[in-house]
């Protein structure tokens, strides 16, 4: 009887040494994102975060997301250093909507075969995103799974937990007809609509070097998601006593048509002024090259508006002054109205 050749985990396609190398290289990147509340070091079975003494009546707000098929462009064009910022942005901007401060973040990176440099670049971007958002990259998982992914491919998922004082929770209950919508500028498509974007990009011959007002098309498409956390939290703190912000919305999949209305109570709707939606160059290019109708643009992309505040008219000017001070480009895009008919959102 022939003795079988001894097999190792590496023979099966999993390189434990590569995984250990990744951990050693990302440790200093991750540590830069730590907050005083983080307990212990990277590498434990569970991540620890001390919430005592920070809140009187804390409400925990959690969120999870990915970056969709923007990953395909990151992999095709070897742009691995900023896709992690997108991952953080899609999660922390969501919990921010309810007034929560993101406390910590966890990531999941999966691939068929670990490339140490790629993993370090991606996780480095995640750590940088956490620094910019003020939350700690407290843990994560790097999974090497042979035969699950084609060579060079990987997938990402992110998870965040935030907290807000129960008395400061934003749930849309204060929204009234007549409230104004203030749109805050996006940095580009963020991480939404990329299945359509890639279809248009491919049909146009992948012209990544096309100039869009001094920025190449590929740079515009890969611009990382704007992180609104720090300025918006400061805005909330400065307007805490008079409750000047009734609701907020993060414009993600579903675009302007479907996201703002998620924070609007039943019986109310939105009247958005289409003339205020001035498409930045990257969206203008996408609409022209893809012959995309306005309605499809509004329900697929943020169209230059990445975050929306719902405020009473009496506070709008003061809020806008604060936004100027905080360096957030903005414009009024519409108002809350009494809902009529089947559609609660009118753009015209």
CATH of the domain at 294: 3.90.650.10
Residue 292 domain boundaries: 180-347
Which of these, 24, 52, 25, lies nearest to 39 by C-alpha position?
Answer: 52
The answer to whether residue 10 is domain-embedded is no
pTM: 0.93
The answer to whether residue 11 is domain-embedded is no
One domain, residues 159 and 189: no
Using the structure block, give the residue that is written with the tokens 């998922």. Answer: 157
Give residue 66's pLDDT. 97
One domain, residues 212 and 65: no
C-alpha 22/C-alpha 111 separation (Å) is 13
Give residue 1's pLDDT. 66
Query: What per-residue string of b and e applies to 130-159 under the rule 16 or more CB within 10 Å gives b?
Result: bbbbbbbbbbbebebeeeeeeeeebebbbb
One domain, residues 129 and 240: no
One domain, residues 194 and 322: yes
Using the structure block, give the residue that is written with the tokens 């109205």. Answer: 337
Per run of 10 residues, the mean pLDDT along the chain (length 348 residues) is: 77 76 79 85 81 89 97 96 97 98 96 93 96 95 92 95 95 95 98 97 94 96 98 91 88 96 96 96 97 97 98 95 97 96 89
One domain, residues 153 and 214: no
Q: Which helix (H) or strand (E) holds 59?
A: strand 58-65
Domain end (from 117, 147, 168):
168
Which of these, 264, 245, 231, lies nearest to 318 by C-alpha position?
Answer: 245
């Amino acid at each position: 009887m022939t003795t079988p050749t001894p097999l190792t985990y590496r023979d099966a396609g999993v390189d434990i040494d590569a995984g250990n190398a990744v951990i050693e290289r990302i440790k200093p990147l991750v540590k830069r994102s730590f907050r005083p509340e983080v307990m212990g070091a990277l590498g434990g079975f569970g991540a620890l975060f001390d919430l005592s003494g920070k809140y009187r009546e804390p409400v925990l707000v959690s969120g999870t997301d990915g970056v969709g098929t923007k990953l395909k462009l990151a992999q095709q064009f070897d742009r691995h250093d900023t896709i992690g910022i997108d991952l953080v942005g899609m999660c922390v901007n969501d919990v921010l909507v309810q007034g929560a401060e993101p406390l910590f973040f966890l990531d999941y990176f999966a691939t068929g075969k670990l490339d140490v440099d790629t993993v370090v670049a991606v996780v480095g971007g995640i750590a940088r995103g956490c620094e910019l958002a003020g939350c700690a990259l407290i843990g994560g998982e790097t999974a090497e799974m042979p035969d699950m992914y084609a060579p060079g491919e990987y997938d990402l998922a992110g998870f965040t937990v935030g907290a807000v004082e129960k008395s400061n929770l934003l749930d849309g209950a204060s929204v009234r007809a007549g409230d104004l919508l203030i749109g805050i500028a996006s940095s580009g498509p963020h991480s939404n609509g990329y299945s359509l974007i890639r279809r248009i990009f491919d049909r146009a011959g992948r012209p990544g070097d096309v100039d869009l007002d001094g920025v190449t098309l590929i740079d515009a498409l890969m611009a990382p998601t704007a992180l609104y956390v720090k300025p918006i939290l400061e805005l909330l703190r400065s307007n805490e006593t008079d409750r000047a912000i009734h609701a907020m919305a993060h414009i993600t999949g579903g675009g302007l048509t479907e996201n703002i209305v998620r924070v609007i109570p039943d019986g109310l709707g939105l009247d958005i002024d289409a003339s205020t939606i001035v498409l930045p160059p990257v969206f203008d290019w996408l609409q022209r090259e893809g012959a995309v109708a306005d309605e499809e643009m509004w329900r697929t992309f943020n169209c230059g508006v990445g975050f929306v505040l719902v405020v009473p008219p009496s506070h709008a000017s003061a809020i806008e002054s604060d936004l100027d001070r905080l360096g957030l480009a903005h414009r009024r895009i519409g108002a809350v109205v009494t809902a009529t008919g089947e559609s609660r959102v009118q753009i015209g």
